[in-house]
């Protein structure tokens, strides 16, 4: 089956054609949870394990990115870098299929070796710091940054700056889900007087395509945490 078409949402901002049946299938594989049933106080917490737990959808997502970057030939990326932690789900299968290295952008305090730090930055719900190992990418490398979701763009920009500090350049930023009302891509392109304005950002589905019907909160009163013993008596 042909892969879904790419649509331009603005200058250097691309997504999949949201009316394509395969894209609808990806969107409808993504449950979301309200604040009571999510780890953070956000209106909708999108759970990409809906993609990873459906092999056909997971394969479709990976195939799309592999084909996108493979078709770029010698101008394609030299490295895929994933954000801790859910970027680690999508980056490795794409990198392996392309036979290029996968690099970790980790939360501070986890990586060995000499590290370059992003400094602290603000995301949709937290303040973070990420690091990359010195030498993991080098001058002349073209790095695709991969994450599960872009909200405010704070995490993505930390990755842009890390790659830049290491002398490489970002080839593209890629996320499975975007929250357009937070304008993360706009913030990347406006950052530091447009330093990264020419870098493409690819967001696969937007939250409007996922829709309210994908809310997966359980019935009112269901506890958030149950013991293994209780779980045996409950329906998932
Ligand atoms: C979420 O926050 C995702 O996994 C991303 O890593 C990040 C996106 O938020 P933001 O930095 O764009 O606001 O945990």
Please provide the DSSP assignment of 86-99 as one string. THHHHHHHHHHHHT
Instruction: Please identify which of the residues 68, 86, 106, 142 carries the catalytic annotation.
Output: 86
Residue 236 counted as domain residue: no
Query: Total structural domains in the chain?
Result: 1
Which pLDDT belongs to residue 56? 98
Residue 1 counted as domain residue: no
Residue 175 lies in domain:
6-231
Which pLDDT belongs to residue 235? 76
List average pLDDT for each run of 10 residues in the chain, which is 236 residues long: 94 98 98 96 96 98 98 98 98 98 97 96 94 97 98 98 97 98 97 98 97 96 94 84
74 is catalytic: no
- Ligand 1 atom index nearest CA of 158: 11
- Ligand 1 atom index nearest CA of 122: 11
- Ligand 1 atom index nearest CA of 128: 11
Angstrom distance (rounded) from CA 16 to CA 62: 13
Residue 22 counted as domain residue: yes
Angstrom distance (rounded) from CA 81 to CA 101: 8
Q: Which of 123, 152, 189 to mutate to test the pocket of ligand 1 (most atoms within 8 A of CB)?
A: 123
12: domain CATH number is 3.40.50.2020
Task: Give strand pairing partners of 169.
Answer: 142
Distance 119 CA to ligand 1 centre (A): 16
Name the closest-CA residue to atom 1, ligand 1.
Answer: 149
Q: Is 121 in the pocket of ligand 1 (CB under 6 A)?
A: no
Which pLDDT belongs to residue 197? 98
Which pLDDT belongs to residue 10? 96
Residue 133 counted as domain residue: yes
Distance 216 CA to ligand 1 centre (A): 20
Residue 93 counted as domain residue: yes
- Per-residue pLDDT of 213-223, as tens digits, reads 999 999 999 99
Residue 192 counted as domain residue: yes
Residue 46 counted as domain residue: yes
Residue 193 counted as domain residue: yes
Cα distances from 55 to residues 40, 63, 175, in angstroms, run: 27, 12, 18
């Amino acid at each position: 089956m042909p892969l879904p078409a790419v649509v331009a949402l603005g200058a250097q901002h691309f997504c999949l054609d949201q009316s394509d049946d395969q894209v609808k299938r990806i969107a409808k594989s993504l449950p979301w949870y309200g604040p009571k049933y999510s780890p953070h106080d956000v209106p909708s917490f999108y759970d990409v394990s809906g993609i990873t737990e459906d092999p056909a959808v997971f394969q479709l997502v990976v195939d799309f990115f592999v084909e996108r970057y493979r078709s770029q030939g010698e101008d394609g990326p030299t490295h895929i870098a994933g954000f801790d932690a859910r970027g680690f789900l999508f980056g490795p299968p794409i990198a392996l299929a392309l036979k290029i290295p996968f690099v970790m952008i980790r939360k501070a305090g986890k990586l060995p070796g000499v590290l370059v730090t992003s400094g602290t930055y603000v995301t949709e719900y937290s303040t973070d710091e990420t690091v990359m190992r010195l030498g993991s990418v080098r001058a002349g490398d073209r790095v695709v940054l991969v994450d599960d979701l872009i909200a405010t763009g704070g995490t993505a920009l930390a990755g842009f700056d890390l790659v830049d500090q290491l002398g490489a350049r970002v080839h593209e930023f890629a996320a499975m889900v975007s929250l357009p009302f937070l304008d993360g891509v706009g913030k990347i392109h406006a950052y530091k007087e447009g330093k990264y304005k020419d870098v493409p950002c690819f967001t696969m589905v937007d939250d409007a395509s996922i829709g309210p019907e994908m809310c997966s909160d359980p019935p009112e009163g269901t506890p958030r945490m149950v013991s293994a013993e209780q779980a045996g008596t409950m329906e998932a």
